[in-house]
Amino acid sequence: MQYKVYLLPRARQEVDRLPGNIRQRARQTIIGLRDNDHPPHSKRLDYDVGPVHELWRVRLDHWRILYLIDREQESIYVLAARRRPPYQYEDLATLVSEVI
């Protein structure tokens, strides 16, 4: 199955501000989500987003790309690209509310 991938405006800004080598890897990873919604180093986050949605993150060194899978619409929404640490997923509710 091929997904439609949407990059939210905030996520686009965050990806554009990543260091050069990570920025290129992040862009390739995001494009790759169309064909593979669970790339290497991805993990489902334990956060309730309803029956047809799943919240995932993919790890790129110290960076995390957060994305929401909508199985019903066959869409993926890239929510953020954050450095961890210090990012602790404290704003998941806000990020998810922009899509759902």
Q: Which of 14, 18, 17, 66 is nearest to 42 (CA)?
A: 66
Q: Which of 68, 71, 57 is nearest to 26 (CA)?
A: 57
3-state secondary structure 24-85: HHHHHHHHHCCCCCCCCCEEECCCCCCCCEEEEEEEECCEEEEEEEECCCCEEEEEEEEECC
Pairing of the two strands 75-83 and 63-70: antiparallel
6-56 pLDDT, tens digit each: 999 999 999 999 999 999 999 999 999 999 999 999 999 999 998 999 999
How many domains does the chain fold into? 1
Of the pLDDT bands very low, low, confident and very high (cuts 50, 70, 90), residue 1 is confident
The answer on pLDDT for 92 being more than 90 is yes
Query: Global pTM?
Result: 0.95
Structural domain of residue 27, as residue ranges? 4-97
Which CATH number covers residue 48?
3.30.2310.20
